[in-house]
C-alpha cells in the first residue's frame, strides 16, 4: 500500500536540478564542519501538522483531502502511521515528533485513552524497528480539550492539575518506550487572560511543582531524554508564563529547576515575543541551554503563529550560525513545526514544503560554516570590543576596576572616541556569502 504514489525517494540532485521532488542543497552524506549534513541538521517531521492538520482556519473548514481521511477513529490513526513512515522514508528524515493526541484519539475515559495510546505506541515501535527515523521528542497535548479551559498545570481547578499530571506521566512512559531523545513542555494554556481572577503566585508555584514531579518521575522510570521548555509569549493564552527564553530561565532558576531543562526555540514564537529567531538562539547559546529548535517562520504582517515552512535564507543562515557556534544541538534537532498554507491543498505539497525547509537549512548550514571559517563576525566583534582587551577595559572585564578607579580614569580621559558600528557594511558582506558560497 502506498499513500504518496506520485513521490519516490527524494534524492540529492544538486543546485542545477529542475526536479521539484529533489534536494538541491541537502546532501545528507556531505561533510560540513566535521559532520555529515544529516548529523548537523537532525531534521524532524512534526506529526501534527503533517498528518493531522487539514487546512482549517477560524473562518473556514478543512481544504486538504488526505489519503487517511476515508477512515475514522483508531483505523485512521493506524493508517496515519503507515503513511507517516512512508513519508519519513521518502524524505529520508532521521526524526519525527508528536503530541499524545496526534497519534491516538481520546477515549471516553482516561483508561480508554491510554489504551488507544498503547495500541498506537506498539504499532509505531514496530515500524521503528525497520525504519531509520527515530523519535526526537514527544509531548502531551494539554490545550485542545475543553478541560484545559483554565490551564493545565496552572489551572484554578486541582482536578485538571491531576489530570495533566497523569497525562505527562503517561507521556514520559511513552517517550521511554520509543526511545525519545527529548520531552517537550509547551504551555499553550499555562498563563492568564486577566489578573482580576488569577492567583499568579499560586499558578507559578503549581507549575514549578508540576515540573519537579515530572523530573522525579523521569528519574524513577529511567527516562533519560532531555527536558525542553518551549517558550511562546501568547496564543492561545493572552499572556503565557514561558514568554521567552529569558522568562522561562528566570522561572526555572527561581524554583531550582534549571539544571533539568533546556529550551526548544521556535522561530515564530521568537518573533511573537518581539525578538528575532537569532536573538532567542543566541540567548540560549550563551547561557548553555540551547536544546532543540522548532524550525519554521512567521509572517511579520500577521500577529499570530503562522507556522510556515522556513524558506528565508537570512534566517536559516543566522540560525545555523548560532547552532554551529553552540557545537550543534546535541540531542535536539530541527523539527519542522510547520504546515503548508491553506491553499496548498495537494498531498504532494507536504513533500515540496519539507524539501523547501530542508534545502533552506542545508544551504544556511554551508553559508554559516563559511562565515565561521572566515571569522567574519568574530573579527567584527574583536574589532568592535577591542577596548576591553587592554588598559581600563581589561581592568573592567578582569574584575580589577571599581567606581573609584573608573571615576579617576574618566576624569583624566575626557576625550571619548566612538567608532562606527558599520551595520550596512556587515550586511553587505553577509549578502556576498549568501550569494556566493
Ligand atoms: C504551538 C507549539 C506546539 C508545540 C508542541 O504553538 O508550537 O505545537 O511545539 O506542543
Ligand atoms: Ca512548536
Ligand atoms: Ca508555533
**Per-residue pLDDT reduced to its tens digit, 127-170:** 999 999 999 999 999 999 999 999 999 999 999 999 999 999 99
**Per-residue pLDDT reduced to its tens digit, 247-280:** 999 999 999 999 999 999 999 999 999 999 999 9
Q: Residue 294 Cα, ligand 2 centroid: separation in angstroms?
A: 5
Give the angle subtended at the CA of 241 by the CAs of 240 and 246, to the nearest 5°.
115
Return the ligand number nearest the Cα of 234: 1
Percent of the chain with pLDDT over 90: 100
pLDDT, position 139: 99
- Return the ligand 1 atom nearest residue 232 CA: 6
Ligand 1 pocket, 315 CB below 6 A?
A: no
- pTM of the entire predicted model: 0.98
State the Cα–Cα distance between residues 323 and 132, nearest whole angstrom.
Answer: 24
Mean pLDDT of the chain: 98
Q: Residue 314 Cα, ligand 1 centroid: separation in angstroms?
A: 23
Ligand 1 pocket, 230 CB below 6 A?
A: yes
Q: Smallest Cα–Cα separation from 224: which of 294, 168, 177, 170?
A: 177
Listed in order, strand segments (DSSP E) in 287-328 are 290-294
- Return the ligand 1 atom nearest residue 264 CA: 9
Q: Residue 48 Cα, ligand 2 centroid: separation in angstroms?
A: 10
Return the ligand number nearest the Cα of 270: 3
Nearest CA owner, ligand 1 atom 8: 337
Return the ligand number nearest the Cα of 99: 1
Nearest CA owner, ligand 1 atom 10: 186
Residue found by looking up cell 547552532 in the block: 323
**Per-residue pLDDT reduced to its tens digit, 274-333:** 999 999 999 999 999 999 999 999 999 999 999 999 999 999 999 999 999 999 999 999
Is residue 393 exposed (0-12), middle (13-18) or buried (19+ Cβ within 10 Å)? middle
Work out the number of other CB atoms within 10 angstroms of the CB of residue 127: 15
Ligand 1 pocket, 52 CB below 6 A?
A: no
State the Cα–Cα distance between residues 200 and 247, nearest whole angstrom.
Answer: 15
- Return the ligand 1 atom nearest residue 143 CA: 10
Q: What is the mean pLDDT of residues 171-181?
A: 99
Which residues form the catalytic set? 99, 102
Ligand 1 pocket, 101 CB below 6 A?
A: no
Counting every residue written for the chain, the total comes to: 437
Report CA 81 to chain centroid distance, whole Å.
Answer: 22
Q: Residue 397 Cα, ligand 1 centroid: separation in angstroms?
A: 40
Inform me whether the pLDDT recorded for 52 exceeds 90: yes
pLDDT, position 437: 85
pLDDT, position 86: 98
Under 8 Å between Cβ of 172 and 218: yes
pLDDT, position 140: 98
Pairing state of beta strands 35-36 and 31-32? antiparallel
Q: What is the mean pLDDT of residues 380-401?
A: 98
Ligand 1 pocket, 170 CB below 6 A?
A: no
pLDDT band (50, 70, 90) for residue 97: very high
Q: What is the mean pLDDT of residues 352-368?
A: 98
Amino acid at each position: 500500500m502506498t499513500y504518496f504514489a506520485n513521490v519516490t525517494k527524494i534524492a540529492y540532485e544538486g543546485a542545477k536540478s529542475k526536479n521539484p521532488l529533489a534536494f538541491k542543497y541537502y546532501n545528507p552524506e556531505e561533510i560540513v564542519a566535521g559532520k555529515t549534513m544529516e548529523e548537523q541538521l537532525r531534521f524532524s517531521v512534526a506529526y501534527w501538522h503533517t498528518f493531522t492538520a487539514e487546512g482549517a482556519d477560524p473562518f473556514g473548514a478543512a481544504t486538504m483531502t488526505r489519503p487517511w481521511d476515508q477512515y475514522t477513529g483508531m483505523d485512521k490513526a493506524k493508517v496515519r502511521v503507515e503513511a507517516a513512515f512512508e513519508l519519513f522514508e521518502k524524505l529520508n528524515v532521521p526524526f519525527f515528533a508528536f503530541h499524545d493526541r496526534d497519534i491516538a484519539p481520546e477515549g471516553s475515559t482516561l483508561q480508554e485513552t491510554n489504551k488507544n495510546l498503547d495500541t498506537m505506541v506498539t504499532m509505531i515501535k514496530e515500524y521503528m524497528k525497520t525504519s531509520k527515523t527515530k523519535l526526537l521528542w514527544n509531548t502531551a497535548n494539554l490545550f485542545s480539550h475543553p478541560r484545559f479551559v483554565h490551564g493545565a498545570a496552572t489551572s484554578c481547578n486541582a482536578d485538571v492539575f491531576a489530570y495533566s499530571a497523569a497525562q505527562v506521566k503517561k507521556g514520559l512512559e511513552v517517550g521511554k518506550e520509543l526511545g525519545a531523545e527529548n520531552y517537550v513542555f509547551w504551555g499553550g494554556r499555562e498563563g492568564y487572560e486577566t489578573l482580576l481572577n488569577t492567583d499568579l503566585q499560586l499558578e507559578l508555584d503549581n507549575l514549578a511543582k508540576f515540573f519537579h514531579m515530572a523530573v522525579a518521575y523521569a528519574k524513577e522510570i529511567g527516562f533519560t531524554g532531555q527536558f525542553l521548555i518551549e517558550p511562546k509569549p501568547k496564543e492561545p493564552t493572552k499572556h503565557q508564563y514561558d514568554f521567552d527564553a529569558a522568562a522561562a530561565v528566570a522561572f526555572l532558576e527561581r524554583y531550582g529547576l534549571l539544571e533539568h531543562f533546556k529550551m526548544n526555540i521556535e522561530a515564530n514564537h521568537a518573533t511573537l515575543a518581539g525578538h528575532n529567531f537569532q536573538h532567542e538562539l543566541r540567548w540560549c547559546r550563551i547561557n548553555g541551554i540551547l536544546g532543540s529548535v522548532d524550525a519554521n517562520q512567521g509572517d511579520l504582517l500577521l500577529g499570530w503563529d503562522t507556522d510556515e515552512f522556513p524558506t528565508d535564507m537570512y534566517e536559516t543562515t543566522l540560525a545555523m550560525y548560532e547552532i554551529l557556534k553552540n557545537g550543534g544541538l546535541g540531542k535536539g534537532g530541527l523539527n519542522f513545526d510547520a504546515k503548508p498554507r491553506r491553499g496548498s491543498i495537494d498531498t504532494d505539497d507536504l513533500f515540496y514544503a519539507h524539501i523547501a525547509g530542508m534545502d533552506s537549512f542545508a544551504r544556511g548550514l554551508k553559508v554559516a560554516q563559511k562565515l565561521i571559517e572566515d571569522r567574519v563576525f568574530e573579527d567584527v566583534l574583536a574589532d568592535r570590543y577591542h577596548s576591553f582587551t587592554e588598559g581600563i577595559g581589561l581592568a573592567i572585564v578582569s574584575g580589577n576596576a571599581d567606581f573609584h578607579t573608573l571615576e579617576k580614569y574618566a576624569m583624566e580621559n575626557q576625550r571619548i572616541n566612538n567608532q562606527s558600528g558599520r551595520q550596512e557594511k556587515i550586511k553587505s558582506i553577509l549578502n556576498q556569502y549568501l550569494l556566493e558560497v
